[in-house]
Chains A and B, each alone.
Chain A
Amino acid sequence: MSRVFCLQAKIYLKSIDESEVAALTSAVSTSMPSPSARDKDTGATNTSNDDAGGIKSPTMAKPGGLSVGGGVGIGIKSPAMKNAAEENIVRRRRTQQESIASEISFARLILDVGESVSAAAKALNPRPAGDPARAPGSTPGSTTTRSKAKGKGKGKGKGGKGGADDDGVVSEAEYQAAMTPFTYDSHENLSDGHAYAKEAAAVRLFFYFRTGNLTDVTCVFFHSQDLRNGPHISRVAKEIAGLAGGALPLNRSSSVFVRIDDAKSVVWSIMITGPEDTPYDGGCFIFGESICFILVWEIGLTLCFSLHQLQMRFSQAGTLRTLRRSSSRRPAAADGAPTLTCTRTARCAYRCWARGRVGKARRGIRRCRRCCRLSYRSNL
């Protein structure tokens, strides 16, 4: 279990750049965030605000410069308002930074504890050289309990295969003990050559759209390549915790191995060894290049929804109005065009507003395009 926590902490820490971390911590320690930290953190939005403020005050002071008193009045007023607004922003940002900093320190603490635990485990029982001590949590005790539990669960399916245990074949418990360290791991650069690498890169983009935050959308194109943090991470972390918690099937007959990309935790590779008594017996089948299916499905829906939203936004603003689809289901009759009604079934009341839209007339029945398509399908 400690291994899971360690990995999650590692993922979290990776998601935040070192420079950013340093900036954040310094910002939290001082009462006011240092300007460099703030600039780095807020990115495009805040700098644009500052720019606007910087441009505004001279332009406002210029006309005021003609009459001395008025100029001073405006000059004092606008920075005061700006200061109040800025203070608000700063306060909000500071609470955010504090929470992030506490999370970072917690993650580091977990990592430290994990390292010390693994070191202690190594000192207590040194593993054989061929067996890499990757898992600090999986001591021999835990593996034996695990194999017992598995034996109970799968005892039914193995009734007929008991005969294979003699003539030098490795026993069930031995196999499990040897393979436990390999079941689940993270791997560097798994997404290189991964079939779904592009989709993975785009995941972040979709989440930005879903939030509907247009200020974020401006930054999307700079960040779309990295997948290291985002709202999906908690969901993925749950999945990972489920897998690494010992839920993966591990049997001599057939077992499952999972590798997750170090930087992009949505990119998974899965290997399943072929079960006994099947034509796949003993083979290593890598469903490698497959992303988290469930996530992809969810994200697909998200994309449709958010693109529609975006389009509405634009059309409201008066640009890109042509993008909006006219509802083609029951179009109103255009003037001059003959209105024809589909007579295929009583229920279909599809009124076509142009001759071109009417489908083939067969057996004296005038069908609309939709009915034609439907009947074609049903004839198949």
Chain B
Amino acid sequence: MLQVIVSVQSLILCPQPYFNEPGYERLIGTPNGKNQSDQYDASIIDNTLRWAMIEQLRKPHPAFKDAIKAHFKLRKSHLLTVVKKRWTEGATGERKARVDGLFKELTTELNKL
């Protein structure tokens, strides 16, 4: 069981999950692949912000309530500086507005802690 958990952590939650999808491994290193992977990452970032952060702060899972709160308390500064900078870097237009809005919501939720 531990092995399953660790493999999920290291292989599925990886920097470029796009290339985990079946059939896309051969695109690694090509400009087309890079482009596709960035788009894929963008959607993951949106969903991570919305569901794995904001939603978990608003309605935490009852079993993990304390763990989630402690985690976000400790990671607050990292999220609002390093991560925000990295994730909003390449964004333009509509997407930039969306990510900024999500980060604004996240900030208010984090300040409530």
Q: Do A and B come from one complex?
A: yes
Q: Measuring CB to CB, which residues of chain A are less than 8 angstroms from any residue of chain B?
A: 132, 164, 167-170, 174-175, 178-179, 182, 185, 187, 190, 239, 242-243, 247-249, 252, 254-259, 268-275, 277-288, 292-294
Which residues in A have their C-beta under 8 angstroms from that of B75?
Answer: 170, 252, 273, 282
Q: Measuring CB to CB, which residues of chain B are less than 8 angstroms from any residue of chain A?
A: 1-2, 4-6, 8-10, 13-15, 17, 41-42, 44-45, 48-49, 51-53, 56, 61-64, 66-68, 70-72, 74-75, 77-79, 81-83, 86-87
Contact of A282 among B17, B63, B66, B83 (CB under 8 A): B83
Which residues in A have their C-beta under 8 angstroms from that of B82?
Answer: 164, 169
Docked complex Cα distance between A268 and B63 (Å)? 10
Which residues in B have their C-beta under 8 angstroms from that of A274?
Answer: 13, 48, 52
Contact of B63 among A179, A190, A248, A277 (CB under 8 A): A190
Known: A164-B78, A175-B74, A278-B13. A239 touches B1 (CB 8 A): yes
Which residues in A have their C-beta under 8 angstroms from that of B17?
Answer: 278-279
Contact of B13 among A239, A247, A259, A275 (CB under 8 A): A275
A–B complex contacts, Cβ < 8 Å, 15 sampled: A167-B81, A168-B77, A169-B77, A169-B82, A179-B74, A187-B63, A190-B63, A247-B2, A248-B2, A259-B64, A278-B14, A284-B56, A286-B64, A287-B8, A293-B1
**Interface-centre pick from A175, A182, A293 (highest chain B CB count, 10 A):** A182
Known: A164-B82, A259-B64, A282-B79. A293 touches B4 (CB 8 A): yes
Across the A-B interface, the 9 shortest Cβ-Cβ residue pairs: A283-B52, A182-B67, A279-B44, A259-B63, A187-B63, A283-B48, A279-B41, A284-B56, A170-B74
Let me know if A284 and B9 touch, CB within 8 A. no
Which residues in B have their C-beta under 8 angstroms from that of A190?
Answer: 63
New A-B pairs, 9, CB < 8 Å, besides A269-B61, A275-B10, A292-B1: A169-B82, A249-B9, A258-B5, A273-B75, A275-B9, A275-B13, A279-B44, A280-B52, A283-B49
Let me know if A254 and B13 touch, CB within 8 A. yes
Docked complex Cα distance between A164 and B81 (Å)? 10
Docked complex Cα distance between A282 and B87 (Å)? 12
A251 CB to closest chain B CB (Å) equals 10
Which residues in B have their C-beta under 8 angstroms from that of A132?
Answer: 66
B12 CB to closest chain A CB (Å) equals 9
Which residues in B have their C-beta under 8 angstroms from that of A174?
Answer: 74
Q: Which residue of B lies closest to A174 (CB)?
A: B74
Let me know if A243 and B56 touch, CB within 8 A. no
Let me know if A277 and B15 touch, CB within 8 A. yes
Let me know if A279 and B48 touch, CB within 8 A. yes
Let me know if A280 and B44 touch, CB within 8 A. yes
Docked complex Cα distance between A169 and B4 (Å)? 30
Let me know if A243 and B48 touch, CB within 8 A. no
Known: A248-B2, A249-B9, A278-B14. A284 touches B64 (CB 8 A): yes
Q: Which residue of B lies closest to A183 (CB)?
A: B67
Let me know if A284 and B14 touch, CB within 8 A. no
Docked complex Cα distance between A185 and B44 (Å)? 29
Which residues in B have their C-beta under 8 angstroms from that of A249?
Answer: 6, 9
Contact of B68 among A164, A242, A252, A284 (CB under 8 A): A284
Contact of A284 among B2, B4, B41, B53 (CB under 8 A): B53
Let me know if B2 and A272 touch, CB within 8 A. no
Docked complex Cα distance between A277 and B70 (Å)? 21
Let me know if B64 and A257 touch, CB within 8 A. yes
Known: A169-B78, A273-B71. A288 touches B9 (CB 8 A): no
Docked complex Cα distance between A282 and B75 (Å)? 7
**Interface-centre pick from B5, B9, B63, B72 (highest chain A CB count, 10 A):** B63
